[in-house]
Amino acid sequence: MTRPTDLSKVRACLTADVPAGRSDDDTVRRQWWAALSVLQEELLVGPGSERGIWLASPLPALYAPALLNHLQGWVWAPESVEHLLGRPSPLLPAMAGQLPGPGAPFERLSLREQDGCDPLLLVITSAVQVGLCLDGPAAGRRLVVRFEPTVLSQALGLIHQRLAEEAPLQAERLRQELQHLGSLQSDPQLGQRFWPLLADRLAAIAPSVTLQPQPQRPGESTSSAVSGELALLEALTHEVRTPLATIRILIRSLLRRQDLPAVVRQRLEQIDGECSEQIDRFGLIFLAAELQRQPAGGEGGNEGGGNGGGGTELARTDLSVLLQELAGLWQRQLARRGLNLELVIAPGLPPVLSDPARLETMLGGLMDRFSRGLAAGSTVTLALQPAGSRLKLRLSNGDRGQAETPSRPSTEAQASGERPTRRAVGPVLSWNPTTGSLHLSRQATQQLFRRLGGRLTERGGSDLTVFFPTC
C-alpha cells in the first residue's frame, strides 16, 4: 500500500539544501509575521496579482482582503478547529471534497498528525511564486523562503498528489487554476528584493519584548531611555496585533457560512468588531511611537499646506461623507458600552485637506479615547460645522449636566494636559486607573492629527475639538 503524502514532505522539499537554523521559536515566528507583511504589502501588489492560488497549513496565513478575494486558497487545518465555537460543526469553509460555498475565501481540508503543525505557505501568481515555512528543532528554528521555480514545482507536485489522494475534485481544480494562470514570469531578482524588505520590517517592529531598555546613567540624556521605551512599545503593539489579525481571519471565514445559527453569527460579529477595534487602537499606538522616534525637525503642523507633519501627502477629503459612513460602525461600538451617538453635520460644507485613509483610523481612535470612561446611557455628540477658513469637528458629552463640577486636577495632570483621572505612561500613552484602559496621550494624539493636517484642542476631557483646513 502506498504511503499517503504528508505535508512534511512539502516542508522537506522547501528546506532542502538550506542551512540549519539557530533561532528560538519566538524569533522565527516574528520573522514569519514580518515575511507575511512583506509578501502581502510589497510583493503581491500591482499587475500579475489579480489571479492565482495559495496553499497553507495549519491556519490561513494570508490576511489582506484583496488577496483573499482574488486568489483561490486551500488550507489544511486541525480537526479541533471545528470545535472553535464549542460544538462539533463544520464551521470553516468547505470541508474536504466539497466545492466552496458562495464567497468562501478558501477550501478547508483536514490536517493529519503526520503533517506537522509548523506554518507552511505557497503562493503562485503570474508575477510572484514563493514558498515559506518554519522548520527545525526547538534550539535550531529557521524561516525558509524559496523562490526557485524547480523547488516550487516539486512542492506543487507533492501538494497536487496530496489533494488527489483525499479530495480528487480539489486536485482537478488546482490543476485548472494553474492552467488558467498561463505562463509564469519568474523574477530572478525577487529574492534580492525580499530579504532587504524583511530586514526593514523587522527593524521597524524593533527588539523582542523580552529585552529590557538600557537603564539611564547619571548625567545621561533621557533620550536613550525614552527610545528604549518606544522600541519596547512598538514591539508590544506588533505582538498584540498579529494574533488578533489571525483570529479575525478565522472569524470572517466562519461568517461566510450561510447556515450559522443567529446567536452564533451575532457572537462572531461581536468578536470581529472587538478584534478590528483593538487592531486599529494598537495600530495608532504603533504609529504614535514611530513618530516620537523621528527627529524633531520632521514634525510640525501644516494647516493649509499640501503636506502634513513628517511628509504625509494630504488630499481633498469630504469629511462630511466620511463621518456619515463611519457613524454606523461607531454606533455599534458605543452600544456595546451602553452609549449613544448623535451626529450633527452642517449642510454644504467644503472638503478639507487630510489623508483620508489614516484619518478614518485616527477618528476612530479619537472616538474611543473620548467615550471610554463615560457612564452608560451617555450620548456622544459629534458635530461638524464651519469655523472661518477651517472646519471644526467637536466631540462632547450631550448628557453632561450643567451643575457638574469637575474635580481639581493634580499638578501632574495640569502639567500633562490630561484628564484629572489619567496618568501619563511614557511619551505616548496615558492610563485611566478608574477604568483600567490605556489611551494615546494628549501629546501623541495632537501629533498624529498635525500629521493629518488638523489641530486638536481638549478642554478638561469633556470636550474634544479638531480644526481642519478647507480646500
CA distance 392 to 401: 23
Answer positive or negative: Cα dihedral of 63, 448, 275, 357: negative
Half-sphere exposure (Cβ direction) of 147: Cα atoms closer than 13 Å: 15
The model carries a pTM of 0.49
Answer positive or negative: Cα dihedral of 338, 344, 349, 352: negative
Extract the C-alpha cell encoding 390: 477651517
Residue carrying the nine cell digits 502634513: 308
465 closest CA partner among 366, 398, 350 = 366
pLDDT reported for residue 34: 86
- Per-residue pLDDT tens listing for the chain (471 residues): 456 788 999 999 999 999 999 888 878 888 888 898 899 888 988 777 778 999 999 887 887 777 888 899 999 987 644 433 333 333 333 333 333 333 446 888 888 888 888 899 999 998 899 999 999 998 899 999 999 999 999 999 999 999 999 899 999 999 999 988 887 877 788 888 999 999 887 876 544 333 333 344 444 444 555 565 666 666 667 667 777 877 887 788 788 888 889 999 988 888 888 888 888 888 788 778 777 766 554 444 444 444 554 455 678 889 999 999 889 989 988 888 889 999 999 999 999 988 877 788 888 888 888 887 788 899 999 999 999 899 999 999 876 543 333 333 333 333 334 444 567 777 787 776 666 667 788 888 888 888 888 898 887 657 889 999 988
Q: What is the dihedral of CA 176, 177, 179, 180, to 10 degrees?
A: 120
Query: Residue 323: which region, alpha, beta or left (left: phi > 0; alpha: psi -120 to 50)?
Result: alpha
| All residues at 6 or more sequence positions from 347 whose CB lies less than 8 Å from its CB, including other chains | none
Phi, psi of 98 (to 5 degrees): -105, 150
pLDDT reported for residue 145: 96
Q: What is the dihedral of CA 460, 462, 468, 470, to 10 degrees?
A: -130
Half-sphere exposure (Cβ direction) of 348: Cα atoms closer than 13 Å: 0
3-state SS, residue 110: strand
Q: Is 59 exposed, middle or buried (0-12, 13-18, 19+ CB in 10 A)?
A: middle
CA distance 330 to 366: 11
pLDDT reported for residue 204: 63
Run of H or E residues at 393: strand 390-397
pLDDT reported for residue 291: 75
DSSP assignments along 124-135, one per residue: EESS-EEEEEEE
| All residues at 6 or more sequence positions from 261 whose CB lies less than 8 Å from its CB, including other chains | none
CA distance 301 to 447: 8
**DSSP 8-state secondary structure symbol assigned to residue 102:** T
441 closest CA partner among 414, 422, 421, 464 = 422
Q: Is 447 exposed, middle or buried (0-12, 13-18, 19+ CB in 10 A)?
A: buried
DSSP assignments along 271-302, one per residue: HHHHHHHHHHHHHHHHHHHHHHTS-GGG----
Q: Are 308 and 455 in contact (CB under 8 A)?
A: no
Q: Are 471 and 305 in contact (CB under 8 A)?
A: no
For domain 309-400+410-469, the CATH superfamily is Histidine kinase-like ATPase, C-terminal domain (3.30.565.10)
Burial 342-354 (b: 16+ CB within 10 A, else e): eeebeeebebbbb
DSSP assignments along 326-344, one per residue: HHHHHHHHHHTTT-EEEEE
Measured in whole angstroms, how far is the alpha carbon of residue 230 from the centre of its chain? Answer: 19
Extract the C-alpha cell encoding 234: 512598538
pLDDT reported for residue 102: 37
